[in-house]
Chains A and B, each alone.
Chain A
């Protein structure tokens, strides 16, 4: 008894022991805070390095070096019957060589003609096709220079390096400098990056095909996964009896969210392409594959959002005689919508960056024009990045980074949209 009561003896809150404990407690608090802070700093630092390196390599490809000169649209090279096959290359070459009459024919002229991009003749063809009346006259056009000179203009590789270590030789530098001195060289914003599809030539390659492909893919994914996901979630949350079978379904939906994406690609390859014979490389198949991957995300998010609707609202609706479907459609679903949309957009953001399954179904097709439908072969932004990252030309290094920046831009746009929609739909009264 005496021993027991001694345990409750007055505690010395100001003793050496107590003070040491106090100090340790404060130190532990501070440490915990510091761990957290350093984790944040580390994460932000890594993000800054990533973005910094992307911007540093990518920013140059947002401008493109152009050369502006007069072209004589020579009727001799123009094929009246078949304008598309006219010899625009000769028109460009003859006109360009006129800028340097002193250059003798042969290898030197060939080197000189390396300056304008191969795209020049395509551009001229477009102009003439749009307005055949220019045949026989002289027009001024501005065309991209070829990749070597674009890189040279952007300071890639020193002009003091040994000639054989450079991609442009001494003579070409002299010509290029003369063009620059005549004000014929300009570096406008690189609209080609957004206006054109892929090309073998970096200076002509753009993301239009990939952006259009991504759009179609997201469209298919959304159209499939949004209604199916919501319907599945509503059934599981509101109608399904609680038994062994629904438990199994629930566990498997959660597991599905963790299946590696390449497995979905293999599934799509085996089922969609080989069994059903759907077209390869098409956004339809890509969208179906990504929809399979997005479904669990949407179902889980929708169920959570439905569960979060206060039971009092359901009771209120049931109390005035709303049927089950009226309760769900009129009250529960609208209140759950912000959560559902957030989940869906997160799923879509996931979809926009998915690469592996798309490679398996051939959505890394080399496409020099944007597809016009969901059945045409196409690329998406991540697969385009994959293609460019694999290309040996110097110009594609910068373009890879630029494409990544564009992809990140789209992601930020989507996240912004998610936040906006959530704010907009959340009724705060």
Chain B
């Protein structure tokens, strides 16, 4: 087979398997320090992939490769192949702004802009030119907030500040903001670590609902959360993936000793 044919075959395989992100041999260096030592992982559409592992294992670093947030760190260097729908995101021709519009992100600490709820949502669509009239923007705000399960709570005060909401509401606002640019993938970096159990339950519910339309990658420190919300789980340890597969299988019948030790709380 020629190279083009190989590429075509991989692409077709990926589409058949519903693969969104296909990453092979991903290495990340911060200066001389190697933070990721060759990671192979596929992220599927309409699934939640949970990345678990002890602190400093590289799961956030991996997550930040997917939308090239590592670009903002001067000393970071990424090698390997990260394909989004078969196209390398680290290709020089790729526009990082468009990439981030396709691959949205929700952060550990809720970080709404110090603007109104309305402005928080419309900011992304506005800079990407996704809408032009007030009606269109209003519609985006309503659908995004509805999808994020926040509409009923804030529909009467869209002009009040995004930071005046409670922590859990703020995080859902951030999810709504990410949804507003109609991404294909949503990356979540410990989205519930700053939230109380009730708000966490609300966000987890939301993640499950969002799965229908997006590929979701979530980094979490909570085993229970990974077990509750994800379909696939990858266990990271010291820059490598120790094991990955079906969440159920990982949690009930891990193949590796280290995975078993970690999920039963013996280390980490």
Contact = CB atoms under 8 A, between A and B. Distances in A.
Contact of A316 (B99, B127, B160, B174): B174
Interface string B96-117: 0111110011110101111000
With most chain B CB atoms within 10 A of its CB, the pick from A313, A314, A429 is: A429
Contacts of A181: none
Given A242-B74, A322-B97, A323-B97, A315 B127 contact: no
A318 interface: yes
Interface string A317-347: 1111111001000110001000000000000
A333 to B, nearest CB: 13
Contacts of B107: 312, 315-316, 319
B128 interface: yes
Given A320-B123, A320-B181, A429-B164, A331 B100 contact: no
Contact of A321 (B72, B128, B174): B128
B177 interface: yes
B114 A429 contact: yes
With most chain A CB atoms within 10 A of its CB, the pick from B69, B127, B178 is: B127
A429 B98 CA distance: 31
B161 interface: yes
A241 interface: yes
Contacts of B149: none
B162 interface: yes
Contacts of A323: 97, 127
A424 interface: no
A185 B111 CA distance: 71
A171 to B, nearest CB: 76
B161 A429 contact: yes
B112 A316 contact: yes
B193 interface: no
Indicate the size class of the contact surface on chain B: 20 to 34
B22 to A, nearest CB: 22
Given A429-B114, A429-B161, A429-B163, A320 B109 contact: no
A11 interface: no
B81 interface: no
A291 to B, nearest CB: 32
Contacts of B113: 313, 316-317, 331
B230 to A, nearest CB: 21
A427 interface: yes
Contacts of B162: 429
A321 B100 CA distance: 5
Interface string B38-82: 000000000000000000000000000001010010100000000
Contacts of B109: 312
A379 B247 CA distance: 79
Contact of B114 (A318, A322, A427): A427
Contacts of A330: 123, 127
B112 to A, nearest CB: 7
Nearest to B174: A316
Contacts of B161: 427, 429
B74 A241 contact: yes
Nearest to B128: A321
Contact of A315 (B69, B97, B128): B69
B127 A312 contact: no
B16 to A, nearest CB: 29
B124 interface: yes
B178 A315 contact: no
Given A242-B74, A321-B127, A315 B111 contact: yes
B195 to A, nearest CB: 15
Nearest to B124: A320
A318 B127 contact: no
19 contacts: A313-B111, A315-B111, A316-B113, A316-B174, A317-B113, A317-B123, A318-B69, A319-B69, A320-B101, A320-B127, A320-B177, A320-B181, A321-B97, A321-B127, A323-B127, A330-B123, A331-B113, A429-B160, A429-B163
Interface of A: 241-242, 310, 312-323, 326, 330-331, 335, 427, 429
